[in-house]
């Protein structure tokens, strides 16, 4: 769905409770923001919400709308106030035509907000992530960059609501370098608490030469466990979640086509999973 197709007519206010940098200093800035919403719709894990960056002047620019994912289980902050968490990467990009570097408007606006600041929110959008009914369902999570944020919330929800969940959970997390794995680096590993579950395993997919912009080696991370994952993908109790930048789609198609040695067979299986609501993508 294109950004201009989202309904942004219902807008409500959020108040920043805190904003903390969670990426190491030598990497791109990613901040975790806690936002309170006093009067607004109910947020759930798997939802995305919109941010409206106000126009800089009456003539200069238009409102700017961008989407962000719920990064934790929405909580109550008392008096009917909801508390949500978001992980935002400060983005800059090189314009294809001018060759100049620009700062992304929404991400910089959000990263510059501080405790007490107010912002305009829309949504939520999308379908909340469901906890599988089967206690032995398999869950495969494939995330890249800030795409890890909804998975962090989902894992918390999964083991909080079903502490005895017995299905295999496999997380593949891609980034240029180990330092860029937010929520899974030396300073902070939110997934460490699940390793002793015995059913949870996490794998890192990194670029062999991040400074040369080599692509993330999904083939190594997933390809090395190809048969296990493929067997899971043939099981009717498997749910796959993919989140991150859109480029991940082609990379994964290449990796899975390689595992089964047939692009046609892979695309057919993926279409079946998608039709059954068992391949869920959040791409941007
Ligand atoms: C459903 C959905 C959920 C999203 N969830 C999140 C989230 O939880 N956290 C988050 O930081 N962003 C998220 N995004 C991306 C976000 O909506 C914005 O696109 C991003 O913050 C850049 O907006 P901007 O206005 O600053 O810059 P823009 O002018 O919109 O974009 C500038 C450039 O940055 C690239 N870019 C956009 N997002 C990222 C990113 N996260 N990492 C690296 N490069 C990027 C774009 O491809 C573009 O080239 C999500 C997008 C979608 C569609």
- Domain assignments of the chain as residue spans, ordered by start: 3-124, 138-283
Best residue among 64, 67, 85, 91 to mutate for probing ligand 1's pocket (most ligand atoms within 8 Å of CB) is 91
Band the pLDDT of 146: cuts 50, 70, 90.
very high
pLDDT value at residue 268: 97
Taking 70 as the threshold, does the pLDDT of residue 236 lie above it?
yes
Band the pLDDT of 55: cuts 50, 70, 90.
confident
Q: Where are the alpha helices (DSSP H) in the chain?
A: 105-112, 148-161, 218-223, 226-234, 248-260, 263-275
Band the pLDDT of 115: cuts 50, 70, 90.
very high
Report CA Rg, the chain.
19
Note whether 3-124 and 138-283 share their fold: no
H helix and E strand count, the chain: 6, 14
CA 128, CA 168: separation in Å to the nearest integer?
21
Best residue among 104, 126, 149, 180 to mutate for probing ligand 1's pocket (most ligand atoms within 8 Å of CB) is 104
Taking 80 as the threshold, does the pLDDT of residue 57 lie above it?
no
pTM of the model: 0.94
Question: CA torsion angle for 181, 185, 188, 194 (degrees, to 10)?
Answer: 90
Average pLDDT, the chain: 94
**What is the average per-residue pLDDT within 153-173?**
95
Q: Is 30 in the pocket of ligand 1 (CB under 6 A)?
A: no
CA 46, CA 209: separation in Å to the nearest integer?
32
Query: Percent helix, strand, coil in the chain (nearest 5)?
Result: 30, 30, 40
Please provide the CATH number assigned to the domain covering 3-124.
2.40.30.10
153: exposed, middle or buried (Cβ count in 10 Å: 0-12, 13-18, 19+) = buried
Helix (H) or strand (E) holding 75, with range, is strand 75-76
CA 239, CA 256: separation in Å to the nearest integer?
16
Q: Which of 231, 242, 277, 251 is nearest to 138 (CA)?
A: 231
pLDDT value at residue 41: 96
- Cα 94 to middle of ligand 1, angstroms: 14
- Measured CA angle at 22 (ends 20, 23), to 5 deg: 135
**What is the average per-residue pLDDT within 266-275?**
97
- Measured CA angle at 19 (ends 18, 23), to 5 deg: 145
- Cα 104 to middle of ligand 1, angstroms: 8
Q: Quick one: which atom of ligand 1 is closest to the CA of 282?
A: 1
Residue-wise pLDDT for 176-219, tens only, equals 999 999 999 888 899 999 988 889 999 999 998 887 878 889 98
- Cα 49 to middle of ligand 1, angstroms: 12
Residue-wise pLDDT for 86-104, tens only, equals 999 999 999 899 999 999 9
- Cα 135 to middle of ligand 1, angstroms: 34
Residue-wise pLDDT for 9-36, tens only, equals 999 999 999 999 999 998 999 999 999 9
Work out the percent of the chain whose per-residue pLDDT is above 70. 99
pLDDT value at residue 58: 65
Taking 80 as the threshold, does the pLDDT of residue 259 lie above it?
yes
**What is the average per-residue pLDDT within 130-155?**
96
For domain 138-283, the CATH architecture is 3-Layer(aba) Sandwich (3.40)
Q: Quick one: which atom of ligand 1 is closest to the CA of 246?
A: 47
């Amino acid at each position: 769905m294109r950004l201009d197709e989202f309904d942004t007519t219902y807008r409500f206010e959020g108040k920043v409770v805190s904003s903390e940098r969670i990426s190491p200093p030598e990497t791109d800035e990613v901040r975790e923001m806690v936002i309170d919403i006093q009067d607004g719709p109910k947020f759930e894990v798997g939802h995305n919400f919109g941010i409206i960056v106000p126009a800089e002047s009456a003539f200069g620019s238009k409102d700017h709308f961008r989407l962000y994912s719920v990064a934790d289980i929405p909580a109550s902050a008392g008096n009917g106030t909801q508390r949500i968490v978001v992980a935002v990467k400060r983005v800059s990009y090189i314009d294809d035509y001018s060759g100049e570097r620009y700062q992304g408007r929404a991400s910089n606006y959000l990263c510059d907000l501080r405790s007490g600041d107010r912002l305009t929110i829309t949504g939520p959008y999308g379908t909340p992530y469901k906890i599988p009914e089967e206690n032995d369902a398999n869950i495969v999570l494939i995330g890249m960059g800030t795409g890890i944020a909804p998975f962090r919330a989902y894992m918390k929800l999964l083991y909080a609501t079903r502490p005895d969940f017995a299905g295999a959970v496999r997380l593949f997390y891609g980034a240029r370098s180990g330092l860029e794995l937010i929520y899974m680096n030396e300073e902070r590993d939110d997934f460490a608490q699940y390793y002793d579950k015995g059913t949870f395993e996490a794998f890192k997919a990194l670029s062999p030469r991040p400074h040369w912009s080599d692509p993330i080696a999904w083939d190594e991370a997933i390809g090395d466990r190809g048969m296990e994952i493929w067997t899971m993908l043939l099981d009717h109790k498997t749910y796959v979640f993919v989140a991150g930048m859109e480029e991940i789609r082609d990379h994964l198609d290449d990796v899975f086509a390689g595992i089964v040695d047939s692009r046609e067979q892979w695309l057919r299986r993926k279409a079946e999973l998608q039709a059954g609501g068992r391949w869920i993508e959040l791409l941007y």
